[in-house]
Amino acid sequence: MRSPTAASAPQHRPSPQRRRRIAGRPAAVAAVALCVAGVATAVQPGADGAPASSATGYRPDDLRRDTDALHALGITGVQARVTTAGGRELVAAAGVAVAGTNRPVPRDGYFRMASTGKALMATVVLQLVDEGRLSLDDTVDRRLPGLIAGNGNDGRKITVRQLLQNTSGLHDDLPGFDTPQQYYRHRYDTYSAEQIVARAMRHRPDFPPGGGWGYSNTGYVVLGMIVEKAAGRPWPAEIESRILKPLGTTRTYLAGNTPTLRRPHADGYQVFASGERIDVTEQIVPDLGGYVSTTADVNRFFRGLLGGRLLSPARLADMRRTVPVDKRLETFWPRGRYGLGLVNRPLSCGGSYWSHEGGEAGYITLNGVTDDGGRTVTVSMSTSFNDLNRTLRQHKAASDLVDRALCDASGGGPGA
């Protein structure tokens, strides 16, 4: 997931969920011809066989309308899932799985979850804190001496808590691509954690540790290295044994150096600043962004996390202690606050919800879970844009879907 601070000009900040580098300034794009696609909607009953929604509230027609609205923005494929407190589900899909065909979008297809994986990493770190194997006040230098050094970077002053909360000041310098040519040239490039950290060390910190807020993929790469040192084995094994297996999220996996996705999936498309739409499904994604999942698994994870199945009450409280995000992200996260690997955003119906968006070239994911873990929603979109205005419209429409689904409120559209 690309840091929002990586853009060259503050007035052209990319979306906070974007991980791969996107153009520093928006450019007009030509209209992208999309084939006409149908929409599939289903209500999956829970164990009691009851329908997924009552005569009031957020209903199947509402979800279908909201996924249609996203598809109409030029997004090739959309899939969304709402899971209620009783375990009943609404599922909808719009668009096509492959541009130029009539293949429907799978209703629980695989997609790159990108920075949603940061919530997985944060959960493992907090479990290790619960076990006394880490402390939130540990410095990076205590666990990884000499890793963060040079150009004003100092691992003696950066804590685990600051890494989790994006207040470390570590500069983000993940590799990426801005043009189709860069994609084809670099899509199979691989990077070790040490190489990613070394790239960041070429830059001065964005601010002193604890002195600001700035989205940093580099910080989460460092957290993975800390987990490995504390646990004595690779961090993906910790995520597998501590989260994925206990929750039964059997369709979530780390792609690693495998550039393709398991089937079924919708192909991912990037619309570059030139207006070219390129199928970017095949790529190797470094760090936590390499996780692949489904809407059902993402919902199950957030229900388990906020429902108290993964962390003690004290550590979950730590996770939910937030700080304001950089004001330049207000456009994307109005009144948003960042905890330890979780984002808190207000609901239009009162209260707030928790989430962690994810974005990779070709795949954008928004999600949300109510404070008690009772109601969750995940929407995956298989198109990303190198145009700020189109990205803003996409993000706003997906955020509105999440808000209505969690508020259980009908939008009053056709058929509602």
Catalytic residues: 115
Residue 87: HSE in the Cβ half-sphere, 13 Å Cα cutoff: 5
CB 108 within 8 A of CB 40: no
What angle do helix axes 217-231 and 193-201 make, rounded to 10 degrees?
130
Residue 406: HSE in the Cβ half-sphere, 13 Å Cα cutoff: 32
User: DSSP code of 15?
Assistant: P
User: DSSP code of 360?
Assistant: E
Among 81, 87, 54, 84, which Cα is nearest to 67's? 81
Whether the upstream peptide bond of residue 106 has omega within 30° of 0, thus cis, is: no
CB 115 within 8 A of CB 290: no
Question: How many Cβ atoms are within 10 Å of 136's Cβ, its own excluded?
Answer: 17
Residue for token pair 């590799």: 175
d(CA 112, CA 96): 17
d(CA 341, CA 212): 16
CB 119 within 8 A of CB 165: no
* CA distances (Å), origin 7, targets 164, 173, 288: 22, 11, 21
Q: What is the dihedral of CA 220, 16, 247, 346, to 10 degrees?
A: 120
d(CA 160, CA 143): 10
Instruction: Decide: helix, strand or coil at residue 229.
Output: helix
CB 7 within 8 A of CB 13: yes
Using CB atoms within 10 A of its CB, is residue 199 exposed (0-12), middle (13-18) or buried (19+)?
middle
Among 215, 54, 227, which Cα is nearest to 129's? 227
How many angstroms from the chain centroid is the CA of residue 124?
Answer: 17
Among 354, 395, 359, which Cα is nearest to 371's? 354
